[in-house]
Structure 1
Amino acid sequence: MGYFALALVVLAIVIVFSIVKIVPQGREFTIERFGKYTRTLSPGISLLTPFVERIGRRMNMMEQVLDVPQQEVITKDNAMVKVDAIVFIQVMSASAAAYRVENLPYAITQLCSTNLRTVVGSMDLDEVLFQRDNINSRLLTVIDAATEPWGVKVNRIEIKDLTPPVDITNAMARQMKAERERRAVITEAEGEKQAAIARAEGAKQAAILQAEGRKEAAFRDAEAREREAEAEAKATAMVSEAIARGDVNAINYFVAQKYVEAFAELARNPTAKTVIVPAEMSGLVGTIAGLGELVGLARDQQVERRDARPPVVARPVDPPRAPRNAVPPTE
């Protein structure tokens, strides 16, 4: 009696475990009734019919990563390259993935391998090396369409490694070095060109500034000469007016100033070894006296015509005398 009760307890436990099923998150279980698929269990707790229903396949509904093994592929221009990839898939229909294909990961891996050879073989080596995104998009389109009946969504395909032959790698290295050297030469030439342009522009600006400086200097010199000429003309006019008024001192001062300036210029002459100063400057005094008489006659005539007061004879002023014995300038 005790053994029978124990057997009943064990049978009840077995029946309970066969009826109650707990599906974890990210998984789905297929239910088979007498070997035929009937329904799919979602995550949570579910009850089965004892001795009739059982779990068929336990499917992983999370995104999975499959590694496509490395393989050698001949490109369109007969170059041998080694290519491998990784595939990101996700089961969307548990029943289709369970019952429409045997060994789903292996099937998807072989499908990726064959399509990878097809896509890479239809491209040149340069296209294979520099257009990985194009290869990835073409593989994704083809494989996603092929796995749709299996209830699988291919999210991404990425080329993980792509190795060309050694001789092609060496040629690519030499090509890259030559390209770098060419760019360096072009950059250096461009720098020299810009430097030459900058120097020419600087010389141009300097010449323009120098020309403007010379122009301004010439303008200033001309203006100074014009001012000097105006001052000279004004001085001459004043002297003429003084002579007309009978003032002889003005002409005497004017002649004496010119005489002193001429004598100073003679003394500054670097070629003159000796400067001779006349002992008597009576010639200059006589000249001044003669000019004084001429001025007096002019004044008398002006007074007679204007009925003015009697003319006053002005006494000429003697110019400053130079020393009798001049000392020759030192060389």
Structure 2
Amino acid sequence: MKMLVIASSIGDTAPGKVFSGYIKRLIEKYTTVDIISLDQNNLIDSELIEVKNIHPRIKKLSITCLNIDIFDYYLAYKISSRADFESYDVVITMMSAHNFFPLYLGYFLKKNKQGIKWINYCVDAVPAPKGWGLSEGYSNGLIKMIRKFMAEADKIYFSNEVMLEYQLNILNGYFKGESGVLYTLPDIEPLFLPKKEKKEFVLLYTGGIYQARKVDQLLLAVERLVLEGINVKLNFVGTNPNSVDLSVISEEVRENICFFGYTRDLVPFYEEADVLIDIDADIENDVFISSKFFNYLMVNRKILCITGKNSPVVIFVKDNKVSGINFSLHSSSNIFESLKSSILKKNEVINRSYDILSNIDIVI
């Protein structure tokens, strides 16, 4: 069986890290796997497709007005007639909600060759649910687009069960194939870190704060802990300080908030931390699980997920019986109580399974 993988990214991007993880598993399992991508990875042999840099607003306007990204569509159409594509039995497309070249090329190859199997994996909801700031026109354009193109796939994968159900509802019967879930793979190995002796109780948040993910309630909870005389420190690593509004807390408490620049080596921060903080979007019926959560699972530290009731991460943890996870709603009082409980049990040993995601693969 000869297989072609078309990925929007395999490099050092959030989707690229996920896609490269699954591509490596495919390479280990199958003898002939060729890869096309829009960027590169030193550890994966791939063909680089050059794309023009088009402003995102223009691409969004194209989808809003025409129900397609005409730039990605034209590029996919132009190369879809290549003679070497005729030799493949399976094509696997890997896409995010920001690049549709893999989707279009998969569609054309499915149309051009009888008997080819097309599997599409998307790490994002298309479109994102209300609350993520998408215009109605753009969302409607995306819906019409996936009902035409994604509906032709033989199998589709999304990042969790809630997202998959959401997407199938949007496809609304247009899609007749199989479907499944491919969770975000961690890009670190399991870490068994000793606890550091220190005076303060350390919270760690890694990555960006943007759109519907908000940090104000966490800051207010930290302020309340400090005012109760608890020595607590909140570290942000790789977070733009301008995205964190410290004006919601007093100047006295701001001294307990520290910012560190982007780094690939998070081990020193993980080692110092007592609790790893994950924040979901503060909107109803969200469908995302943050990629950092799956990295956090690889670290022997407590995790606090600030999320909604019955959110995808809550369902994942319950279904997989993951230990060492606490949940809080998006309220400072709820976060405060959860953190205070963790502080009282600060010597608790975390002994969770690290092979939760080891057997998840793309099924051909």
Fold conserved between structures, TM > 0.5: no
The TM-score normalised by the length of structure 2 is 0.18
Relative contact order, higher structure (CA 8 A, sep 6+):
2
The TM-score normalised by the length of structure 1 is 0.19
